[in-house]
Chain A
Amino acid sequence: DTAVSQTPKYLVTQMGNDKSIKCEQNLGHDTMYWYKQDSKKFLKIMFSYNNKELIINETVPNRFSPKSPDKAHLNLHINSLELGDSAVYFCASSQDVWRGAQETQYFGPGTRLLVL
């Protein structure tokens, strides 16, 4: 079974549309993350949730809204998609953020978003 899964794997859409990416982890972890990898391959944190509560919200446009219905799921909703949103989005999870620097993160396979 896949530990961290994302759907869809590929997403092609038009500018101005609203889309969602789903993430699920079956590791029993308390903390989940969303990262963005741009065309230059830089990976940057967007959001982090611990026990369904937001703990990181980097400088991300408010068109991006994470939603955590339960500890095992962290979905990413994007409104009014723009060309610059084209990227690969990775979900990750870790056991417990409060172990700090000892915490290992496990990543999903990524969702490749292309905005036309």
Chain B
Amino acid sequence: DAKTTQPPSMDCAEGRAANLPCNHSTISGNEYVYWYRQIHSQGPQYIIHGLKNNETNEMASLIITEDRKSSTLILPHATLRDTAVYYCIVRSNSNSGYALNFGKGTSLLVTP
């Protein structure tokens, strides 16, 4: 799986959009970009994933650059409950058993 790079921490004011970047410059054509988050003392939670096109669901939007070397997770109106560690993960079908390879993630703090 391609390696990902994320900033270690970010702050966001409540009600504003949180834009979390992820660099995956070595991504290959069959690799998906996944985002999970882990709220303190809870298990990781799936947010969204995509291959080439931008994606949106009830939780967030995922913007993938045309060259697929980076992506941005957007939480449109961050709330205090969005404070968590956000993990950007690149996955391919070649990963035996398809386990998730979590990195260090970005610790997002949403402030009042």
Contact = CB atoms under 8 A, between A and B. Distances in A.
Q: Which of A50, A90, A102 has the most CB of B within 10 A?
A: A102
Given A48-B97, A55-B97, A101-B91, A107 B45 contact: yes
Interface residues of B, number: 24
Contacts of A55: 96-97
Interface in A66-116: 90, 92, 94, 97, 100-110
Contacts of A109: 42-43
B83 to A, nearest CB: 15
Contacts of B99: 33, 35, 45, 48, 56, 58
Nearest to B1: A101
Nearest to A57: B97
B44 interface: yes
Contacts of B49: 102, 104
Question: Taking chain B's interface residues, is the majority helix, strand, or loop, or is none over half, making it mixed?
Answer: loop
Given A42-B102, A44-B102, A109-B42, A56 B93 contact: no
A43 B44 contact: yes
A109 to B, nearest CB: 5
A101 B93 contact: yes
9 contacts: A43-B38, A43-B100, A43-B102, A45-B101, A48-B99, A90-B43, A92-B43, A103-B98, A105-B46
Interface of A: 4, 33, 35, 41-45, 48, 50, 55-56, 58, 90, 92, 94, 97, 100-110
Given A92-B44, A105-B100, A107-B44, 19 more contacts: A33-B99, A42-B102, A43-B100, A45-B101, A55-B96, A55-B97, A56-B99, A90-B44, A97-B97, A100-B91, A100-B92, A100-B95, A101-B95, A103-B98, A105-B44, A105-B46, A107-B43, A109-B43, A110-B43
